[in-house]
Amino acid sequence: MPMCSRLMTVVVSFAVCGLAQRVSFQRIVTREFPGASIVGGSLLPPESGQPPRLVSWGDRIRLHQIPKGRSGELSGYRNFGPGGCLLDVNQDGAADLVLYEQSAIAGETGRMVWLASPEWTLNLIDSQADFNDCLATTLFGSPGVLIIHRQSQVRFYQVPADRSARWPYREIYSIYTPSAQGGLLRADVDGDGHLDIFVGNYWLKAPDQDAQPWKLYAINQWWNTPRSAMLRLATAKPLDTPFPILFAAESEASPARLAWFERPADPTQLWLETRLDALPPLRRPHAVATADLNGDMRPELVVGENSGAGSRLLIYWSLGSGKYQGTRVDVVPGIRGLWMYDYDSDGDSDIIGIGPRHFYVWRHQRRR
């Protein structure tokens, strides 16, 4: 393995031109939940007769209607960690919720549970769990969820035939580096038709057959501190690249690195890193998302800081050929999650966000 990655730096100036000048975002909804501790969330799939909704969790589970943000408590269960995802566990056509229920005793592992909609009854998956990342997926025909147990062990929990039973799990890979690992996505990295796994600093190559082992390859070397590999990840497919590119942000650092990574001809080698540096530097970017926001067929990168007062919502506009220009869209008390969603069906993606105590909507404004 090479001893260092190839690195390019782009210092982002906060001005945009061309199509981006005709696009802006205006915050139209801010709802505060005094005393709340929101740590995660997910958009619920549209249901007939239901307004678009977002579910958030942390000190409690809340259901937010979009765009007004009217919210109610989904269940009486409390004290959930960041790890969570949606999965139709019982195959009834409605999304259920897989969560990490934290232990009341500091330092002890909690429980992995799932809540069955629409009553949101709690069911046990595993009595010993500790994870910040959860991804609903299918491995070799079996539905389930991927997690990073204790920020180092990639596990797949398979939905059992008996939904009331504990879920069997398989250890996909244990990662041993100086840094805890965060960030979990799937994509066909090497073009062999199998979905691989992005995890922290690495990607895991999927085997051709279920019984074969997964293979680990480094994308970057962001493991210089105990938490530097706790990343937020997003992928996009620009028109001028044959494979998806990977965006990564150091979620717990201040100042934090933000970069996009291009797959080399040999994807088992370190990837080409292009740094996106903001002025002032990024602080704890807890949310990243991608979408084409100005109709030029190139994906933009949307980033939300979670660093208390003065946290920024930023958009990095794609100029093509790997170049980006950044704008500061707004300043809020903090952002934990971002979703691109056309809530008003006008053909343009709006931005939905949650913070530790807030729900936000930024409406897409385009000058035709």
Instruction: Residue 308: count other Cβ atoms within 10 Å of its Cβ.
Output: 11
pLDDT at 20 over 70: no
- The pLDDT assigned to 15 comes to 38
Q: How many CA atoms does the CB half-sphere of 46 hold within 13 Å?
A: 7
CB 208 within 8 A of CB 215: no
Residue 187: its H or E element: strand 184-187
Region at 344 (left for phi over 0; alpha for psi -120 to 50; beta for the rest): alpha
Coil, helix or strand at residue 50: coil
pLDDT band, very low/low/confident/very high, at 12 (cuts 50, 70, 90) = very low
Q: Averaged over 184-194, what is the pLDDT?
A: 95
Residue type, 190: D
Tens of pLDDT, residue by residue over 22-59, are 689 999 999 999 999 999 999 998 876 777 899 999 99
Q: Please tell me the distance from the alpha carbon of residue 40 to that of residue 133, in angstroms, as a whole number.
A: 10
- The pLDDT assigned to 4 comes to 33
pLDDT at 238 over 90: no
DSSP secondary structure of 237-289: --TT-SS-EEEEEETT-SS--EEEEE--SSTTSPPEEEEEE-SSPP--EEEEE
pLDDT at 10 over 50: no
Taken in order of first residue, the domains within the chain and their CATH numbers are: 7-366 (2.130.10.10)
CB 160 within 8 A of CB 167: yes
Q: Averaged over 303-314, what is the pLDDT?
A: 98
| CA distance readout (Å), 81 to 67, 132, 155, 281 | 25, 7, 17, 28
- What does the block give as tokens for 64? 């937010």
Q: Averaged over 258-266, what is the pLDDT?
A: 97
**Is the previous residue joined to 118 through a cis bond, with omega within 30 degrees of 0?**
yes
Residue with tokens 């073009």: 191
Q: Please tell me the distance from the alpha carbon of residue 150 to that of residue 105, in angstroms, as a whole number.
A: 16
Instruction: Residue 243: count other Cβ atoms within 10 Å of its Cβ.
Output: 16
- What does the block give as tokens for 52? 């678009």
pTM of the predicted model, to two decimals?
A: 0.92
